[in-house]
Chain A
Amino acid sequence: MEKKLKWTEPDQWGYYGEFGGSYISEMLYPNVEELRQHYVEILKDPSFISEFQLLLRDYAGRPTPLFYAERLSDKYKSQIYLKREDLCHTGAHKINNTIGQILMAIRRGKKRIIAETGAGQHGVATATVCALKGLECIVYMGEKDIERQAPNVARMKMMGAVVIPAVSGSKTLKDATNEAIRDWINHPEDTHYIIGSVVGPHPYPDMVARFQSVISEEMKKQLEEHTGRTIPHRVIACVGGGSNAAGAFYHFLENEEVELIAVEAAGEGVDSGKSAATTALGKSGVLHGSKSLVMQTDDGQVVEPHSISAGLDYPGIGPLHADLFKRGRAKFMNATDEDALKAAFELSRLEGIIPALESAHALSVLGKIGLKPEETTVVCLSGRGDKDLATYMKNMDLK
């Protein structure tokens, strides 16, 4: 295997170490190949960069603050900062990627946008940018998730998106992704598929990571203002597919002084049979167009994961993260549904910030990693908790 120079850079075939690549059928090849040939050039185009940055600033509301969480820091006797992605337009970091990809789609002359969504956050972020740019938007969502996430379905529809239920397989995120890919196969010319995480065939993992890398780019500048140093001791982020973690880690990956902690969803416990902790339970395999770690049976059938947080309820993980795990650059931990709920209540009480359940997984490890008083830790607060209120209300006794 070729030696890779940088953690962030896959080789020309999209491999991060042994993971990645482009395991797609010939039906998808022209679409993916066209994107692969043009994405780097478009990303480097000064007019693309300025358009992207302007929208991030004026539309998404960036830069998002880096907030020193004083009471949380007191509790854990350390220096804890929160990267406030929850303050982005639409309430999560997902918009960074959808803005980038809609501009990419427009440059390539695409008229029709498709996306998959689990909890609906990425679907909302996609519907948002499609409304902004006047493009047709079709969102695939598992039939079960449509029932569970009615407010987000309503938001998408209000912005003009068509929400199509995925009725195959387990009727959740994995199947919505399958349906979106099938749609793409059937519309090879006019359609761009906005994947919501650092998953899928090359170049998606790299492209999405680059759009999300604005998170750590801002963190460096903001840390310097707060602490005088551009690096923290560690960064903590939750990982489903891994887009906010990829963004939060990106500019620190080459600096091995910075400890990176990825927190997966253990659901009801890693060994409970109801979990989404892919690095703990998964094996190398191919899912949705790339080789990565996948939760699967011995026969290679993809297993239905479980997490209280729909955003982490995915049986795979991006190839970048599989590589970080395999080669030990990031430390992978996990948090149960209950750990996440407790952490969400704690942050709400201590800082007046209600986090998304996904982000609460990242917060929940603060008490488990032996924080030292002089250390600075940044937790990526990837989204706000409004969407999870129904779950929080059911669990008020956990406070």
Chain B
Amino acid sequence: MSRIRILFQKKNKKVLNVYCTAGFPQLNSTIEVMQALEKNGADIIELGMPYSDPLADGPVIQASSMVAIQNGMTVKELFRQLKGFREKISVPVVLMGYMNSALQYGFEKFCEDASALGVDGLILPDLPIHEFDSYYGAIIKKNNLDFIFLVTPETSEDRIRELDKRSSGFIYAVSSSSTTGSDKDMSHVDAYLKKLSGYKLNNPVLVGFGIKDKESFEKASRHTNGAIIGSAYIKALQQSNDVAKATKEFLEPVLN
């Protein structure tokens, strides 16, 4: 059974997934950031592979990716840094990134190496169903990696079921409208998540937008299995020179 599946089976509270960008804030801070996240209560680590043209990310994560690329982060360097990381980190780790990075590394080798290092799953937002079915999905499965598809409020029920069928680990629920925040929007979001939960999908659902503190984490996970924090944590890292301290100060109020 995959590490992610075990987590969802065992966990009786909401799951918190936190995103960080590999090679940010320093080239060699990747493992330090991941350790700090685990220590301070993150249940899953979503490790971003920095890409020059990250279309599914907002400006904060893109800016951190630019810094990481300038720091010298590459997929090869990341895999070098991840060697032996399972001795230090036990929570599930999913790699988030874009198809082009995996393609240039060599897709098959990318999956083999990630799996051998102890990575649990992949989020590649620009790998659509057709391409997944015709070629890439089999390679991902063969290497025992979970694959996490995204759904949005505009995704039809039929399509959500198709995506659920192909997903393993969890489903990543995002909003196609990044302009959330007002009460009216939040009630929309609530209705959407309630609808999702009513579908009784095979996979757990994590919500991934606009989560920045305890209140938004609790709201977002009311109808789901938990939530994902991205930009808000990257911002916290930007504003501090001390990874351990920044992570503790950021996560403590979310979880307590």
- A interface residues (Cβ-Cβ under 8 A, vs B): 13, 21-27, 29-30, 168-169, 174, 178, 181-182, 185-189, 283-289, 294, 296, 298-302
Contact = CB atoms under 8 A, between A and B. Distances in A.
Interface in B57-105: 58-59, 62-63, 66, 69, 74-76, 98-101, 103-105
Contacts of B158: none
Interface stretch (B13-21, B112-120, B122-130, B217-225): B122-130
Given A169-B62, A301-B51, A302-B52, A26 B174 contact: yes
B52 A283 contact: no
B155 A300 contact: no
Given A169-B62, A169-B66, A300-B104, 7 more contacts: A24-B128, A26-B151, A189-B154, A284-B103, A286-B98, A288-B55, A302-B52
Given A188-B154, A296-B104, A25 B125 contact: yes
B131 A27 contact: no
Contacts of B155: 26, 29-30
Contacts of B127: 23
B131 A285 contact: no
Given A178-B53, A188-B176, A298-B104, A23 B59 contact: no
B134 to A, nearest CB: 8
A54 B174 CA distance: 43
A299 B101 contact: yes
Given A169-B66, A185-B176, A299 B128 contact: no
B104 A283 contact: yes
Contacts of A284: 103
Contacts of B125: 25-27
Contacts of B66: 169
A168 to B, nearest CB: 6
B149 to A, nearest CB: 7
Nearest to B98: A286
A300 B152 contact: no
A298 B104 CA distance: 7
A13 B135 CA distance: 14
A286 B33 CA distance: 30
Given A29-B155, A30-B155, A169 B150 contact: no
Contacts of A185: 55-56, 176, 178
Contacts of A21: 130-131
B56 A300 contact: no
A30 B62 contact: no
B77 to A, nearest CB: 8
B12 interface: no
Given A26-B149, A27-B150, A300 B51 contact: yes
5 contacts: A23-B131, A27-B150, A298-B74, A299-B101, A300-B75
B179 interface: yes
A50 B128 CA distance: 36
Instruction: Please classify how large the interface on chain B is, using the bins under 10, 10 to 19, 20 to 34, 35 or more.
Output: 35 or more
Give the one of B62, B128, B130, B163 with max A CB within 10 A: B128
A182 B174 CA distance: 14
User: At the interface, is chain A mostly helix, strand, loop or mixed?
Assistant: loop
A197 B59 CA distance: 25
Contact of A178 (B55, B75, B100, B163): B55
Contact of B53 (A27, A169, A298): A169
A284 B104 CA distance: 8
Nearest to B127: A23
Nearest to B160: A26
B55 A26 contact: no
B224 to A, nearest CB: 17
A283 to B, nearest CB: 7
A26 B174 CA distance: 9
A289 B56 CA distance: 12
A187 B99 CA distance: 24
B182 interface: no
A114 to B, nearest CB: 14
A188 B51 CA distance: 24
Contacts of B55: 25, 178, 181-182, 185, 288
Nearest to A202: B130
Contacts of A186: 176-179
A220 to B, nearest CB: 35
Give the one of B126, B130, B151, B159 with max A CB within 10 A: B126
Nearest to B175: A27
Contacts of B76: 299
B97 to A, nearest CB: 9
A181 B155 CA distance: 18
B152 A286 contact: no
Nearest to A303: B52
B100 A294 contact: yes
Contacts of B105: 299-300
Given A178-B53, A289-B126, A301-B69, A26 B152 contact: yes
A25 B148 CA distance: 12
Contacts of B74: 298-299
B231 to A, nearest CB: 14
Interface in B148-189: 149-152, 154-155, 159, 163, 174, 176-179
